[in-house]
Amino acid sequence: DLPKLPLDNPQAKALNYVESTEGLTHPNFKPGSDCANCQFWTGGDAEWGPCTLFPGHHVAAKGWCSAWARKA
């Protein structure tokens, strides 16, 4: 398994990555969006999985970042 993406990773910070969307108030955040339904997520049904924007790490299925885009 890959290590969890650290919240203080520079790119994670640049993209406002969070491990949970609960209470998230980022202006670009659309309720219901999270890593698990993002086009960059390749983790299937896992709680943590790969994101093509963060190679070498796993992100949280219930997480989010400002690069979120709906899975096609």
Residues that bind ligand SF4 (CB under 6 A): 17, 35, 38, 40-41, 51, 53, 59, 63-65, 67-68
User: Which CB sits closer to ligand SF4, 17 or 47?
Assistant: 17
The residue whose two tokens read 């980022």 is: 26
Minimum distance, C-beta of residue 65 to ligand SF4, in the bound complex (Å)? 3
Minimum distance, C-beta of residue 30 to ligand SF4, in the bound complex (Å)? 11
Dihedral of alpha carbons 49, 34, 21, 53, sign: positive
Q: Which of 19, 20, 6, 3 is nearest to 58 (CA)?
A: 3
Minimum distance, C-beta of residue 33 to ligand SF4, in the bound complex (Å)? 7
The residue whose two tokens read 């202006």 is: 27
